[in-house]
Structure 1
Amino acid sequence: MIVRTLDEIIGSERDVRAENGNWVSRRFLLRDDGMGFSFHETTIFAGTETDIWYKHHLEAVYCVGGEGEIEDLATGIVHPIRDGTLYALDRHDRHKLRAFTDLRLVCAFNPPISGREVHDKDGAYPPAE
């Protein structure tokens, strides 16, 4: 059984911040945990806009606090995000994430990430090894 608390993760190797300061990701489950997915709590900071394209991963995201929006860059369609909203990037969707207030998101990635990844120039994590 794996049991972890947010307090244990903050300040550890599992507490990862974007180089541009837009987000912080607390990584509860990683590839080495052997669950077949990774599980994170991510805060997207108010007033930021982040281009993301997980071309090597599928992601499901559930908002548990804050307000923002996600724009599908292929279609231009914008969806509001607030507490109780889920979105799933089931087609490796290229998107822009905007936070009006701090957005608190719970995320699952398949395949799981290893731990210290941050977005590359395309907004992606590297492919799984």
Structure 2
Amino acid sequence: MIVRSLHEAEKTDRRIVSPDGNWESTRLLLKNDDMGFSFHITTIYAGADFRMHYQNHLESVYCLSGSGEVETLADNRVYPIEPGTIYILDKNDEHILRAASEMKMACVFNPALSGKEVHNAEGAYELEAEALSA
């Protein structure tokens, strides 16, 4: 069994802050945990407006708090995000995430992230990044 505390994990190298200042993510479950997916609590800062395109991963995102919107670029549809909303990038959807207020999100990635990933120029995570310690 694996048991981790968000509060404790936030004090370790499991907490990643984006170089562009849009978000921070505490990675609670990673590739080296051998579960086949990773689980993160991510904070999207108020006013953030950024493009992502996870070409190598599928992601599900559940909003715990805050509000904003996600826009899918293939069809330019805009979906409101509020507590209790989940959006699922099941087709490697290229999208823009906008935070009207600070949003706390629970995120699941498949395949699992190693832990050090930040978005590349295309808004994706690479398949392999330097792994974090357990």
TM-score (norm 2): 0.94
Aligned to 2:105: 105
Q: Distance in 1 between matches of 2:115 and 2:125?
A: 11
CA distance in 2, matches of 1:85, 1:128: 29
Is 1:111–1:128's contact at 8 Å kept on the other side of the alignment? no
Where 1:91 maps in the other structure, the secondary structure is: coil
After TM superposition, the runs of 4+ consecutive aligned structure 1 residues lying more than 4 A away are none
**Structure 2 residue 36 is the aligned partner of structure 1 residue 36:** yes
Structure 1 residue 11, shift from structure 2 partner: 2.6
Residue 47 of structure 2 corresponds to which residue in structure 1?
47
Q: Which runs of 5+ in 2 are unaligned?
A: 130-134
Count of aligned positions: 129
Q: Which residue of 2 aligns with 1:96?
A: 96
1:22 and 2:22 are equivalent in the alignment:
yes
After TM superposition, give the deviation of residue 128 of structure 1 in Å: 4.4
Give the secondary-structure state (helix, strand or coil) at the position aligned to 2:105.
strand
User: 2-side partners of 1:99 and 1:11: how far apart?
Assistant: 25
Residue identity matched to 2:82: R
Q: Quote the Cα distance in structure 1 between the aligned partners of 2:104 and 2:62.
A: 9
Q: Helix, strand or coil: the match of 2:8?
A: helix
- Aligned identity (percent) is 50
Shift of 1:76: 0.5
Question: Partners in 2 of 1:128 and 1:72 — Cα distance?
Answer: 26
Q: CA RMSD in A?
A: 0.9
Deviations 1:31-55 (A, max 9, x none): 0001100000000000110110000
Distance 1:128 1:111 in 2: 10
Contact kept, 8 Å, 1:56 with 1:128, in 2: the verdict is no
Deviation digits for residues 58-117 of structure 1 (CA, Å, limit 9, x no counterpart): 000100100000000111000000000000000000000000000110000000000010
